[in-house]
Amino acid sequence: MIHNTANDAPAENEVAYMLRNTEEVSFHFAVDDREAVQGLPLDRNAWAAGDGTGPGNMQGIHIEICYSLSGGERFARSEANAAELCARLLKQYGWGLGKITKHQDYNGKYCPHRTLDLGWERFLQLVRDKYDKLEEDDMTKAEVEKIIADYLAGLGKKNASGWAEPAIADCKARGIMVGDGDGNFWPQSFVTRQELAQVAAKLAGLTDQDR
């Protein structure tokens, strides 16, 4: 649920005031042009919707957008940050954009006042854009697999460590580990079970003298 603070204090001050006042007024986040500051854990209700024990107070995650009194660039940045916070919460909980509401929906108060003045649909579009950007930033399974494949290929190109070179030379001379069919040994690559089985079989076939 979106609110505007109706003053020009930063998020840290808004939360500090909430924590020290004795009124039944509270919220989960205050967001300014630099940061989002959490005032309540998300498993506690807040008193911000003006609907008593209705769904606004009992179920809403309340987000206060700072610097709404004067507006301007600081408010624009605060609103953009709040839109990103909304998008991240929607993604975290697997919710759709229809979950975003405003204070006005619960008790008729004209809040978030400056956001409403500028256009509620405009704010919803900000959230959509932020949400879509989060989706674009997610890596696909194919991208993850390529990263792993590139990493393993990189290991194959690394030379053996100096301390291992004598042992590798001995294994090659005895025919225990000889690399692939092209003669590539890949000293720092991982060993698969099938490769390990082949090494074990060769060891088992060595005579006592070979051992």
Domain ranges of the chain: 2-137, 141-204
Mean pLDDT, residues 9-25: 90
What pLDDT does residue 158 have? 77
pTM > 0.75: yes or no:
no
* DSSP string for residues in the chain: -EEE-SS---HHHHHHHHHH--SS---SEEE-SS-EEE-S-TTS--S-SSSTTSHHHHH---EEES-TTT-HHHHHHHHHHHHHHHHHHHHHHT--GGG--BTHHHH----SHHHHHH-HHHHHHHHHHHHHHHHHHSPPHHHHHHHHHHHHHHHHTSPPPGGGHHHHHHHHHHTS---STTS---TTSPPPHHHHHHHHHHHHTS-TTT-
What pLDDT does residue 163 have? 84
Topology at the third CATH level for domain 2-137: Lysozyme-like (3.40.80)
Give the torsion sign (CA, 76, 78, 80, 86): negative
What pLDDT does residue 137 have? 65
pLDDT in tens, 75-114: 999 999 999 999 999 999 999 999 999 999 999 999 999 9
Range in 47-51, 53-57, 116-120, 201-205 with the lowest mean pLDDT: 201-205
Mean pLDDT, residues 136-165: 75
pLDDT in tens, 32-65: 999 999 999 999 999 999 999 999 999 999 999 9
Residue 207 pLDDT > 70: no
Could you tell me the pLDDT band of residue 181, with boundaries at 50, 70 and 90? low
- Residue 16: what residue type? A
Q: Phi, psi at residue 186, to the nearest 5°?
A: 45, 70
Contact 102, 58 (CB under 8 A): no
Residue 160 pLDDT > 60: yes
Could you tell me the pLDDT band of residue 184, with boundaries at 50, 70 and 90? confident
Q: What is the mean pLDDT of the chain?
A: 88
Mean pLDDT, residues 109-120: 97
Distances (CA, A) of 32 to 35, 83, 92, 129: 6, 11, 21, 19
What pLDDT does residue 211 have? 47
Highest-scoring range by mean pLDDT, 16-25, 106-115, 140-149: 106-115
Q: How far apart are CA 106 and CA 144, in angstroms?
A: 44
**Pair of tokens at residue 187:** 């000293």
